[in-house]
Amino acid sequence: MLQFFIKSYGCQMNSYDSSRISDALMEAGHKTAESMSDANVVIFNTCSIREKADEKLFSDLGRARLLKLQSQITGNDFIIVVTGCVAQSKHEDIAKRAPYVDIIVGPQEIHKIAEDISDFLKKDRVDTIVRTASNAKEKFLHLTDQFFNRDVSEFLTIQEGCDNFCTYCIVPYTRGREFSRDVSDIMSEARKLLSMNVKEIILLGQNVNSYRGIGLDGKTWNLSRLIFELANLDGLKRIRYTTSNPKDIDESIAKVHREVEILMPFLHLPVQSGSDVVLRRMNRKYSADEYLKCIDFLRNSRSDMAFSSDFIVGFPGETDDDFQETLKLVNTVKFAQAYSFKYSSRPGTAAEKMDQQIPEEIKSERLQILQEILNKQQSQFNNGYVGKSLNVLITKQGRHKNQLVGRSEYSQSVAICDSYLNIGDVARVNITESLSHSLVGMVV
């Protein structure tokens, strides 16, 4: 029996993968460790989206190396595994810079990690294992169907990979081509989650709304058809999906939002920029105007719909005027929440080779201006609920006595004091106060 510790970086797809790796290791009889220093197996599930994310891995590996040296002195096992997107895109670099890493496998090879570890224990393997096959179908076929430890709200990956090749993005090179899981497979996973008291399922995909899977009738189903099916499951209280691409929003999405009450009226719809010139150079396949029409269309379908988004500032060639276009779009939409990043050049992408790279100081300046507006919008959105009520799914105990914490329809964190509610309940809550990152309320 080994103690394992998984450190997950990056997006929700990685958190999902980490929990499936954890299941496989628990099935093999291993136990989770509280920290890296209590573990005999350390797994880094890495992200490569921006340069900083890559560098984070190498600094963490330095720490793991010291722990490995200490274990060797005491004669204990210590296995270091690197998986995720950096393992895929930089496996040669990792093997060279960190030869003490035992297993380097891409995000679509995670189903073999438990077996690799047991080979190491049997001392059958001495050389570093490196595997970077890109076959999501195989991964889902072979991941264990034993699940352990699930929370009230859980991710369920339905689609993986990306065919869009936005010019700044490394994901098509790390996650490979788009793959959609069969509906029957997704339904049985959803049932398993519900049997473990999960109440909210968040469907995941790099391009979740381009989902095209084999349906229960043998025909191809899209995301909305799948959501209609999931909505019939007993005990499921909430459905969300992320991340959507604006170019794939269609009438079927509007319809499912209108008709499925447990589908939350909150959509993450990354726009990246408000300038058509930049959007074209990014290969986003929509204009700022089309994005705005898409927002209007969804708001007209369901009036309580709110939006979050992602932005990149300082994309090669972005002028001050282009940046002003982004601010204009932000002021038109009014986002409930947003993430914004400085453009980071990624190896092998088309934008890496573009001229007119923007200096760091200008990127920082633009980021600060944008974030100030986005933060203000988020506060305005949250303040707007003081004196009104929201439905809150209770997800955990709070820090204070009788305090519970949950999430609203819009994923806002809400703290309430009530001794009658349980984790997993949905309560109607009167919002009394809006703090910087959360709300406070009382059960109606």
Q: Is 21 in the site for ligand F3S (CB under 6 A)?
A: no
Residue 237 or 285: the one with the smaller Cβ distance to ligand SF4 is 285
Residue at token pair 């460790």: 33
Token readout for 206 is 């790099």
Q: Is 312 in the site for ligand SAH (CB under 6 A)?
A: yes
DSSP per position, 223-256: HHHHHHHHTTSTT--EEEEE---GGG--HHHHHH
Q: Which does 165 bind (CB under 5 to 8 A by kind): ligand F3S, ligand SF4, ligand SAH, none?
A: ligand SF4
CB of 270 to ligand SF4, least distance (A): 7
Q: Is 136 in the site for ligand SF4 (CB under 6 A)?
A: no
**Closest-CA residue to 296 (of 349, 344, 259, 332):** 332
Q: Which of 144, 344, 371, 403 binds ligand SAH (CB under 6 A)?
A: 344
- For the chain, report the end-to-end CA distance as a whole number of angstroms: 49
What are the backbone dihedrals phi and psi of residue 90, each rounded to the nearest 5 degrees, phi first? -130, 35
DSSP per position, 131-195: E----HHHHHHHS-S------SEEEEE-EE------TT--HHHHT-S-EE--HHHHHHHHHHHHH
Q: Which does 174 bind (CB under 5 to 8 A by kind): ligand SF4, ligand F3S, ligand SAH, none?
A: ligand F3S
Residue 40 or 88: the one with the smaller Cβ distance to ligand F3S is 88
Q: Is 175 in the site for ligand F3S (CB under 6 A)?
A: yes
What are the backbone dihedrals phi and psi of residue 21, each rounded to the nearest 5 degrees, phi first? -65, -45
Residue 100 or 339: the one with the smaller Cβ distance to ligand SAH is 339
CA distances from 206 to 89, 131, 270 (A): 17, 22, 12
CB of 252 to ligand SAH, least distance (A): 19
Q: Bridge-partner residues for 267, per DSSP? A: 307
- 71 and 36 Cβ atoms separated by less than 8 Å: no
Torsional sign, CA 217, 218, 219, 220: positive
Q: Bridge-partner residues for 338, per DSSP? A: 309
Q: Is 48 in the site for ligand F3S (CB under 6 A)?
A: yes
Residue 68 or 342: the one with the smaller Cβ distance to ligand F3S is 342
Q: Is 310 in the site for ligand SAH (CB under 6 A)?
A: yes
Kindly give, in sequence order, each residue whose CB lies less than 8 Å from that of residue 131, ignoring residues fewer than 6 positions away.
104, 105, 106, 109, 112
Q: Which of 28, 57, 171, 226 binds ligand SF4 (CB under 6 A)?
A: 171
Q: Which one of 179-187, 273-281, 328-336, 341-349 is the stretch in contact with ligand SAH (CB under 6 A)?
A: 341-349
What is the C-alpha to C-alpha distance for residues 429 and 415, in angstroms, rounded to an integer?
Answer: 10
CA distances from 72 to 32, 66, 325 (A): 21, 10, 57
Q: Which one of 70-78, 100-108, 342-350, 392-400 is the stretch in contact with ligand SAH (CB under 6 A)?
A: 342-350
Contacts with ligand SF4, 190-219, as mask; x by CB under 6 A: ----------------xx------------
Q: Is 84 in the site for ligand F3S (CB under 6 A)?
A: yes
Q: Which of 171, 329, 330, 358 binds ligand F3S (CB under 6 A)?
A: 171
CB of 310 to ligand SAH, least distance (A): 3
Q: Is 166 in the site for ligand SF4 (CB under 6 A)?
A: yes
Q: Which one of 122-130, 167-175, 225-233, 410-418 is the stretch in contact with ligand F3S (CB under 6 A)?
A: 167-175
Residue 206 or 308: the one with the smaller Cβ distance to ligand SF4 is 206
Residue at token pair 């932005």: 311
Residue 165 or 339: the one with the smaller Cβ distance to ligand SF4 is 165
Kindly give, in sequence order, each residue whose CB lies less than 8 Å from that of residue 61, ignoring residues fewer than 6 positions away.
44, 80, 82, 94, 98, 101
Q: Which does 346 bind (CB under 5 to 8 A by kind): ligand F3S, ligand SAH, ligand SF4, none?
A: ligand SAH
Residue 359 or 387: the one with the smaller Cβ distance to ligand SAH is 359
Q: Which does 47 bind (CB under 5 to 8 A by kind): ligand SAH, ligand SF4, ligand F3S, none?
A: ligand F3S
Q: Is 221 in the site for ligand SAH (CB under 6 A)?
A: no
Secondary structure (3-state) at 419: coil
What is the C-alpha to C-alpha distance for residues 403 and 396, in angstroms, rounded to an integer?
Answer: 9
Q: Is 164 in the site for ligand SF4 (CB under 6 A)?
A: yes
Q: Which one of 44-52, 147-155, 243-251, 341-349 is the stretch in contact with ligand F3S (CB under 6 A)?
A: 44-52
Radius of gyration of the chain (CA): 23
Q: Bridge-partner residues for 205, per DSSP? A: none
Which residues in this chain contact ligand SAH in the complex, by CB under 6 A? 49-50, 168-169, 171, 206-207, 243, 245, 270, 272, 310, 312, 341, 343-344, 346
Which residues in this chain contact ligand SF4 in the complex, by CB under 6 A? 162, 164-166, 169, 171-172, 206-207, 245
